[in-house]
Structure 1
Amino acid sequence: MIVKGKRRRVAWGITGSGEKIEETVEIMEEMKSEYRKEFDIRVYVSKAGDQVLKYYNLSNTLETMFDKTWTEINANAPFLAGQIQMGNFEFLLLAPATSNTVAKISLRIADTLLTNAAIMGQKTSTPIYVMPTDFREGITTTKLPNGRDLELKITREDAQHVKNLQDMENTFVFEHPNEIPAIFEKYVASD
C-alpha cells in the first residue's frame, strides 16, 4: 500500500543487450512520467549494458530522464543486492536481459550486479520481472545501432534457461517492452 506522499522504489536493471533496448527505454520514460507520484524508478546498468547504451546513443537520455542511475562496479557495488535484501524495492525489473544474465540466474550464479540482485530478490521474496532477449528457440531478427537488421539463432539451451526462470518463485518472465505498463499497473491497482 502506498503511504501518502511516499513513492515506492523500483529497481530497473539494464544488461548488455541491444535487443528491444530503444523500445524499453521509451516505455520506461512513459512509466516514469505516468507514475511519478507512485514510483521512484532507479536505474542500474551492468558494465556491458553501459557499453550498449553508448552504442545506441541512450546514455544521455537515461541520465537526463532518470535522477538516479548507477553503473556496475562489481557484484556488490553499487549495493543493490543489499538494498533488495532489506526490502527497499517494490520489485526488480531486468529489461532487456541477455542470455548470459538469464543463464546465470537460472544456474544461481550471482557474480554480477544484476544477477546478484535478482538471486537475492528471489531469496527475500522480492518480485523479479525479467524480459529475456532470447525468449524462445528459433530465428529472430534484431536491429543494430546503425538501423540494419541482424538475424540471430536462439538456441534450445538459451530457451531452456528462460523456462527455468518461469518455474522460479517470485520470478515473472515476459517477452516484450509493451508488457511493462501492466507490471506497474498491477502495483497501483493493488493499493
Structure 2
Amino acid sequence: MTEKLSVAWCITGAGEKLTETYAIMKDVKKIYGDRVKIDVFISKAGDQVVKYYGLYRDLETSFDRKWVEINANSPFLAGQVQLGKYDFILVAPCTSNSTAKISLRIGDTLVTNAVIMAQKASVPVYIMPSDYSEGKVVTTLPNGKKLELRITKEDVEHVKKISKMDRTEVFSDPQKIYKIFEEWTYPKDQ
C-alpha cells in the first residue's frame, strides 16, 4: 500500500473492553506512524464513557483528529465515508444499543448513520460488539470494581444479523484490531 491508510474509529457508550481497545489503537498508531491516519468519532454516550474512564484528553493527543457527535449528521461522518475519505470504519467497542440499531437499519446517531451509509457505499466496516455471545461477562469499572452483566439471546441475535451483512466483519477480541491493520497495510498480493 503506497497511500496513507485512513480509518474512522468510532466509539459508542460501551465501557466493556474500552481501555483495552484504546491501548491497542494507541499501539497501532505507534507501530504504523505516519502510514496510518486515525480519526476518532465519539457518540454522545461514548463521550460520557470516555470521560468516565479518563480517556478523553488522551484520545485527543494520541490520534489525528477527534470529533464528538452533535447529531446523526454532525460531524458529517456519513458523507465523508461515502466520498471515500476513509478506507474503513472500525466501531470498537459497540454497545448493544448501537448494534441493535445497525441490525434494524436505524441511523439516528453519528455512528449508526455512518455504518449504514458505509455499507451502502461498499466501505468495509469492522464492529466489536460488547455483547457478542450469550451468557455472563464480568467487566472492570474505572474504579477497579467488577460488574457482572448478562448478555441476552436478543442481544446476540442482532450481532448474528450484522455478521451476515455485506462488507461487515464482527469480532469479539480487541486483539483482532492488530490483524485488521496488518491486512490493510500489508496486502497479501504484494
TM over 0.5: yes
> Structure 2: how far apart are the matches of 1:38 and 1:53?
26
SS in 1 for 2:182: helix
Identity %: 55
Q: Could you tell me whether the CA contact under 8 Å between 2:100 and 2:155 is conserved in 1?
A: yes
C-alpha displacement of 1:8: 2.4
Deviations 1:92-149 (A, max 9, x none): 0000000000000000000000000000010011000000000011111111111111
**Is 2:65 the counterpart of 1:68?**
yes
Residue 160 (structure 1) aligns with: 157
> Structure 1: how far apart are the matches of 2:2 and 2:40?
21
Q: Could you tell me whether the CA contact under 8 Å between 2:5 and 2:185 is conserved in 1?
A: no
2:74 aligned to 61, 67, 77, which one?
77
Amino acid at match of 1:181: Y
C-alpha displacement of 1:88: 1.0
> Structure 1: how far apart are the matches of 2:5 and 2:186?
14
In the superposition, the TM-score normalised over structure 1's length comes to 0.96
SS in 1 for 2:144: coil
**Is 2:15 the counterpart of 1:18?**
yes
**Is 2:88 the counterpart of 1:120?**
no
Residue 2 (structure 1) aligns with: 2
In the superposition, the TM-score normalised over structure 2's length comes to 0.97
**Is 2:93 the counterpart of 1:110?**
no
2:48 aligned to 38, 48, 51, which one?
51
Q: Number of residues paired by the alignment?
A: 188
- In the alignment, structure 2 segments of 5+ residues that lack a partner are none
C-alpha displacement of 1:64: 1.4
Residue 182 (structure 1) aligns with: 179
Q: Could you tell me whether the CA contact under 8 Å between 2:5 and 2:184 is conserved in 1?
A: no
> Structure 1: how far apart are the matches of 2:165 and 2:61?
35
Residue 131 (structure 2) aligns with: 134
C-alpha displacement of 1:35: 1.2
1:101 aligned to 92, 98, 103, which one?
98
Cα RMSD after superposing both structures = 0.9
Amino acid at match of 1:60: R
